[in-house]
Copies of this chain bind each other. A is one copy, B any other.
């Protein structure tokens, strides 16, 4: 059997690059996205396009209503998304335990598929300030996952692959271009319009724009 990987795919720049890396490493890729009550569905539409153009074996969109627990500007529509630039500390766009939840559900699917690899596009350099994007978190999740599952008990090691962890946004973009990604398909904006246009001023837009501009790339983003 071809080696299999579950890839968390939001439809943004990072996860799309992680998928391209998994694919170029020879994995059969199974993409997983979430409809978790996020403010903008444009990212999810982008995920569908990306999954199709990268010929994943299967793409599932898991419905999960995180808005019930609230606590984030991305899921609680009574909180505004900040647009005045990155600040110190953990931003209000942080969704409590989001990567933990996504990786856990991916872990369940990996077990069913007998996939021993889960790819996630987190990075700790041009970094959002989210605690669940740090390498020590990824390592702790992997340790836990190997105790949680039937595969783990039976001695098949599962690894969490975070190939962007040490890369700057500009390096991620350079890598993705090398792999032929069409970044115009991807949506990073926290408050994108339904047809996928970006605001240009939220934290995610700022990080993305800086990534393109700092290396003299053309900014492949459609703005409002």
Q: Interface residues, chain A, CB within 8 Å of chain B?
A: 60, 62-66, 68-71, 90, 94-101, 103-105, 107-109, 111-112, 131-132, 134, 136-137, 140-141, 143-145, 147-150, 152-153
Contacts and interface: CB of A to CB of B under 8 A. Distances in A.
B64 A60 contact: no
Contact of A100 (B98, B104, B137): B104
A151 to B, nearest CB: 9
A67 B109 CA distance: 10
Q: How many copies does the complex hold?
A: 2
Contact of A94 (B60, B143, B150): B150
Nearest to A109: B69
Nearest to A61: B68
Contacts of A103: 104
A70 B60 CA distance: 12
A137 B63 CA distance: 26
A95 B66 CA distance: 21
Contact of A101 (B68, B105, B150): B105
A69 B63 contact: no
A152 B103 CA distance: 18
Contacts of A63: 63-65
Contacts of A145: 97, 100
Given A94-B150, A137-B144, A141-B144, 11 more contacts: A60-B68, A62-B64, A62-B65, A64-B64, A69-B112, A71-B112, A97-B148, A99-B148, A100-B107, A131-B147, A131-B148
